[in-house]
Amino acid sequence: MLFKARNSVLVGLILLSLPVSGFAAGSAEAGKQKNAICMACHGPVGISPAFIYPNLAGQVPGYIADQLAAYKAGDRVSPIMAPFILALTEEDMVDLDAYYSSLEPAEQAVPEPLSITALEGQAIYRGGFAEREVAACMSCHGPSGHGIPALYPRVSAQHKEYLETQLLAFKKGERTGYNDIMSEIAFSLSEQQITALSEYMAGLN
């Protein structure tokens, strides 16, 4: 009942946002309500208090809905996320997507000067790793890690530990995405390079 009432109030907002965003399917206002259950881990405004939970604020539109669908389909597996995914409808996913992508990304404290490790990461991020035919990360994730909607996620404003865990999961074949791009890339990187890249990306704003 409550859900129904809330939706009818939101119709006006959804229509208003149509011409502006081009991403018509989701309502950020509805997503904000639905974040109540998610914010225990991902924070009240998509910036998580603990480094094992990813920041979601400022993610490129489309990516979050896509990842939620991947969890639900079992294409991406996380025992921690699993109980919260089951109840989500497609509408919930696009609403949550609209909400998180509308939020300001986390402000990173950029270490100056960059550590030796981060400099190693920067070289691969900007120039790739020719020896193993790895393309520059910035060609898909952007020079400052802001991503390109909707396929290429933002990798800046993110916790180092989360980035590292994901790259290792791609490398080991534990995270399979909607294509093999990241698995192939991560497979060609050493664990040391993955640590270096994660440290560099975590300092990008």
Residue 14, phi then psi, degrees to nearest 5: -60, -45
Nearer Cβ to ligand HEC (80/109):
80
Residues composing the chain: 205
Q: Tally Cβ neighbours within 10 Å of residue 30.
A: 23
Rounded to a whole number of angstroms, the minimum distance from the CB of residue 162 to ligand HEC is 7
Of the residues 10, 45, 81, 114, which one makes contact with ligand HEC according to CB under 6 A: 81
Q: Does 195 bind ligand HEC (CB under 6 A)?
A: no
Please list, in sequence order, all residues whose beta carbon lies within 8 angstroms of the beta carbon of residue 21, skipping any fewer than 6 positions away.
61, 98
Rounded to a whole number of angstroms, the minimum distance from the CB of residue 90 to ligand HEC is 13
* Candidates 2-10, 18-26, 74-82, 106-114; binding stretch for ligand HEC (CB under 6 A): 74-82
Structural tokens at position 38? 């998610």
Q: Does 178 bind ligand HEC (CB under 6 A)?
A: yes
Site for ligand HEC in 114-173 (CB under 6 A): 124, 134-135, 137, 139-141, 151-153, 155, 163, 165-167
Task: Give the torsion through C-alpha atoms of 71, 69, 199, 100, to 10 deg.
Answer: -130
List Cα–Cα distances, 58 to 55, 115, 174, 180, in angstroms: 9, 26, 26, 25
Of the residues 13, 15, 44, 78, which one makes contact with ligand HEC according to CB under 6 A: 78
* Candidates 3-11, 22-30, 76-84, 102-110; binding stretch for ligand HEC (CB under 6 A): 76-84
Q: Quote the CA–CA distance of 195 and 185 in Å, as a whole number.
A: 14
List Cα–Cα distances, 49 to 19, 35, 121, in angstroms: 35, 15, 25
Residues in touch with ligand HEC (CB under 6 A): 37-38, 40-42, 52-54, 56, 64, 67-68, 76, 78, 80-81, 84, 88, 96, 124, 134-135, 137, 139-141, 151-153, 155, 163, 165-167, 177-178, 181-182, 185, 197
